[in-house]
Structure 1
Amino acid sequence: MRCKPLLLVDVDGVISLFGFTMDSCPTGSWHQIDGVAHLLSGEAAEHLLDLMSVYELVWCTGWEERADEHLPTLLGLPRLPWLSFDRNPGKGNAHWKLAAIDAHCGDRPAAWLDDALDAGCEEWARERSARGAPTLLVRTRPEVGLTRTERDTLHAWAAQLQT
């Protein structure tokens, strides 16, 4: 049996929403997490639970272990592994998450769900895919986070891997 592809899940801008105006506040619930108010998406948890049927989920967030300390209880998600990051990657313009992601993923197929993907991430994904490790970057808009659109994109990509 083949391993499921990895799904690297950011929190801020994917689950914890920001950048919206109060008169267009998205559906969700407010929570104090480590003394900071967060609006947690009303639909992200449902989409993540659905995606677990085809992906192995990993927290890929600056929250690190705090994501797994808080979000499973607040959102009804299972506990997940998380990545730890070196905040100074020392690679010029490299995204600060890439070294830890690369080390964790190896050559497994991986999708990365984040609102802050940059040109360095795109180059990394192209190079990784070219060497035989399929990679998908999925951007969210931080004011709405993970929606049905991104979930459907992730399902379609996982299905392509099976053919």
Structure 2
Amino acid sequence: MQQPVLFVDVDGVISLFGFEADAPPPGRFQLVDGIPHYLSATAGEHLRRLSSQFETVWCTGWEEKAPEHLPHALGLLDAYPHLTFARSPRQAHAHWKIGAIDAYAGARPLAWIDDAHDDECGAWARAREQAGAPTLLVTTDPATGIAAAHVEALTAWAARL
């Protein structure tokens, strides 16, 4: 069986926000096209661990900027492809990332880590599951991003496939 696909958002997963200014999580600021982003100190380690069980794909509004800036900043060994987003008229009421995720993954098993899953995402994931396509949504807190507990949940889910 092919590896499941792991779709990774950046803002709220790797680039953190919403934390208390006097108590930031471990990380550092980095400029990306002149915009400061607070990158999680542990995100790179988490993604390296997940890459043995998943085909990892950037799923972010950063689009081509993610593979351009993040591998070096996070110490990633692999270059991940990225999705390009276009609003699909047939999915006018769906979350703006779902069309591109569907086009890339097809019926393959997939996990999607993001800080902005909504009710539409949950309904879409349930419909995929009912159609026989294993789907896992992992929602992060944008102030802390991807954490060890998320990695454990993802690796356990992938092992059960």
Please classify the TM superposition score into its range, dividing by the shorter chain length. over 0.9
AA at the equivalent of 1:98: I
One-letter code aligned to 1:61: T
Match of 2:23 in 1: 24
How many Å separate the matches in 2 of 1:73 and 1:44? 12
**CA deviation after TM superposition for structure 1 residue 93, in Å:** 2.7
Runs of 5+ consecutive residues of structure 1 not aligned to the other structure: none
Give the % identical residues. Answer: 54
Tell me the TM-score normalised to structure 2 length: 0.96
Q: 1 CA distance for matches of 2:73 and 2:48?
A: 14
Q: Which residue of 2 aligns with 1:82?
A: 82
- Give 2:44's aligned residue: 45
- Which 4+ stretches in 1 moved above 6 angstroms? none
SS at match of 2:124: helix
Structure 2 counterparts to residues 56-95 of structure 1, below 5 A: 56-77=55-76, 78-86=78-86, 88-90=87-89, 91-95=91-95
- Structure 2: distance between partners of 1:89 and 1:146: 29
Aligned to 2:99: 99
One-letter amino acid of the structure 1 residue matched with residue 43 of structure 2: A
SS of alignment partner, residue 8 of structure 1: strand
Q: How many residues align?
A: 159
Q: Does 1:134 align with 2:123?
A: no
d(CA) in 2 for partners of 1:126, 1:45: 30
Report the alpha carbon displacement of residue 89 of structure 1 after superposing the two structures with TM.
Answer: 3.5
